[in-house]
Amino acid sequence: MAKNKKPQKVKARLIRGFNDRSSSDIRATDEMMDKIRSVFELYGFDPIETPFLEYTDALGKFLPDSDRPNEGVFSLQDEDEQWLSMRYDLTAPLARHVAQNFNQINMPYRTFRSGWVFRNEKPGPGRFRQFMQFDADIVGAPSVSADAEMCMMMADTMEALGIKRGDYVIRVNNRKVLDGVLQAIGVTEEGQKLSVLRAIDKLDKFGVEGVRLLLGEGRKDESGDFTKGAGLDRAQCSAVLKVVGSGAIPKLKEVLDQVTLDTGGVPDEWGGMGHLLYDDAVFEITEELEPLLNSAGYSDRIKIDPSCVRGLEYYTGMVYEAELLFDVTNEKGDNVVFGSVGGGGRYDGLIKRFTGQAVPATGFSIGVSRLMSALKNLNRLDENAMPAPVVVCVMDKSRISEYQKMVGELRSAGIRAEMYQGNPKNFGKQLQYADRRNSPAAIIDGSDEFEKEIIQIKDLVAGKQASKNIKDNETWKEQRPGQFECKRDDLVEKISALPAIKAWLNSNG
């Protein structure tokens, strides 16, 4: 008779590109998002929420590969064999929401959203398949003043998060500049245009020569993976790189004039649109955007930069990007500029896919996880962070109700607290638990304390500090650093006075 085989254990493992999040990361993110939300609400924006899943055709094909429904996104079919996809950003779902509720929405529509987005792409250092974004958009406002507001709000958000002036810049450009140049040099196929945009968007990561390769035949990275290029010839590459590297507006005008000369003017079949596009774009930047930024006092933080193009296809006008300028150490130990933490732009054609008519819209998205990494580098997180719970030790099982009463009193005062729920026989393990929990204090109430109507409070933070100067156990037991007694009725008062608890209570009203 065959022996029964033991059931095979399931291997505990994470999908590549996905991460579990610790309580400290979650709290730090929540703290950061509260500050972002406060700025957005100050500007008059209100929240909405869209689902994780959308019909694939509603999201549209704005990622690089469009041959298969699940290329670049995570997709599945429902019971009616309709393709559904997990959202890859928060803008495409907003466009669907606006189109579906167009007659009920009060225009201009100022809204913000936050949530997880998903990309079915190759994961790598700092590159995840699931990440959080925080978006703000104005729908129904065609004026450049709406774009200016977005840029100003991005700047105010950086400063609300503790990133001082000089450590960041909001870079602004108009996609019509590059659209016009691409028309002029004969790049009109949408897939090729998107490849050009994505190549330029990697300028801060790969440098000019890396982008030149991506504009041409392609680039091989250090792992040996090859990224197919946009297929531009040498002259076309040169024209694009001259534009994105031109810098200030006067120089940009010179470069655009030279592109026109080099190409012999824009061919008739485009009706002169190339030249008109970038002339219109430069006018919007210099004659409409810059005066608004100057008058509001933001010109030192918001800069015109022709290399800012953004990698998504649906932008139709102004584009902008928040870039952090300080150095960090990367995974190889090199000092590098932190780079972009968010961006966006005008997308006047996105809602048209549903309604048949152009609806002006502009917005930006913050990469929450990436921005949190930046704030950690600047030590801008965890100030007055929520302390771990106070642990009430169980010294006598017959007095469980009294210990639970202590916990209740602390919670009623807004202090995190818990009664030890493990095996209470070993008192040392209870203190070890509290220590590993990073608890600010442990409450000790044994039979001796009960008879005297007192309790012992072990200030674990003070104890750790004092222990640095104590070399042996005898001295430790004799001095009992950080431990003191008080009347039972003074429990809440004494715990509230501990520095970690006091800072938290003060910061939370």
pLDDT at 239 over 90: no
Query: What's the rounded Cα separation, in Å, for the pair 330 and 332?
Result: 5
Q: How confident is the model at residue 269 (pLDDT cuts 50, 70, 90)?
A: very low
- Of 298-302, 334-338, 348-352, the poorest mean pLDDT is in 334-338
Residues 229, 219 contacting (CB under 8 angstroms): yes
pLDDT band for 295, please (50, 70, 90 cuts): very high
What's this model's pTM, rounded to 2 decimal places? Answer: 0.82
pLDDT on residue 469: 63
| Average of per-residue pLDDT across 117-136 | 85
Q: Specify the DSSP element, H or E, that contains 300.
A: none
- Would you say residue 457 has pLDDT above 90? yes
At 119, list the tokens: 């990309």
* Burial class (CB within 10 angstroms; exposed 0-12, middle 13-18, buried 19+) of 225: exposed
Q: Regarding predicted confidence, which is higher, 478 or 453?
A: 453
Looking at the chain, the whole-number percentage of residues with pLDDT higher than 70 is: 88
The length of the chain, given as a count of residues: 509
Q: Is the pLDDT of residue 123 over 60?
A: yes
pLDDT of 331 higher than 70: no
In percent, how much of the chain has pLDDT > 90? 46
Average pLDDT, the chain: 86
3-class SS of residue 225: coil
C-alpha 214 chain-centroid distance? 27
Q: What is the per-residue pLDDT for 132?
A: 92
Within the chain, what is the greatest distance between any pair of CA atoms?
100
Q: Over the stretch 371-430, which tens digit does the pLDDT of each residue have?
A: 887 787 777 765 456 789 999 999 999 999 999 999 999 999 999 999 999 988 899 999
Can you give the pLDDT at residue 62? 62
* Degrees to nearest 5, angle at CA 498 with 492 and 499: 145
Amino acid at 388: A
Cα–chain center distance at 152: 18
Give the pLDDT of residue 270.
44
Q: Is 136:112 a contact under the CB 8 Å cutoff? A: yes
Alpha-helix residue ranges (DSSP H) falling in 315-472: 352-355, 368-377, 400-412, 427-436, 447-452, 460-467
- C-beta separation of 93 from 135 below 8 A: no
pLDDT above 80: residue 466 = no
DSSP state of 378: T
Beta-carbon count within 10 A of 126 CB: 11
pLDDT at 66: 45
Q: Find the radius of gyration of the CA atoms of the chain.
A: 29
pLDDT at 268: 46
| Among the listed residues 244, 317, 246, the one whose alpha carbon sits nearest the alpha carbon of residue 285 | 317
Q: Which residues pair with 364 in a beta bridge?
A: 136, 344
Q: Is the pLDDT of residue 266 over 70?
A: no
* Residues facing residue 227 across a β-bridge: 219
Record the tokens describing residue 67, joined without a space: 């041959």
Q: What is the Cα–Cα distance from 252 to 232, expressed in whole angstroms?
A: 21
Least confident of 21-25, 86-90, 101-105: 21-25
Question: What count of other Cβ atoms lies within 10 Å of the Cβ of residue 321?
Answer: 26
How much is the pLDDT for 44? 96
Q: Which residue, among 54, 116, 131, has the nearest Cα to 85 in the 3D structure? A: 54
Which helix (H) or strand (E) is 111 found in, with range? strand 109-118
The closest alpha carbon to 154, from 278, 361, 333, 302, belongs to: 302
Q: Are 286 and 310 in contact (CB under 8 A)?
A: no
In Å, what is the CA distance from 212 to each residue of 199, 330, 342? 8, 24, 24
Instruction: Take residue 146 and report the two structure tokens written for it.
Output: 């709406």
Q: Give the residue from 188, 182, 160, 148 showing the smallest Cα distance to 345.
A: 148
**pLDDT tens string 69-91:** 567 889 888 999 898 999 999 99
> Domains in the chain, please, with CATH?
23-377 (3.30.930.10), 390-507 (3.40.50.800)
At 70 the pLDDT is: 60
The per-residue pLDDT for 265 is: 53
Contact at 8 Å (CB) between 301 and 155? yes
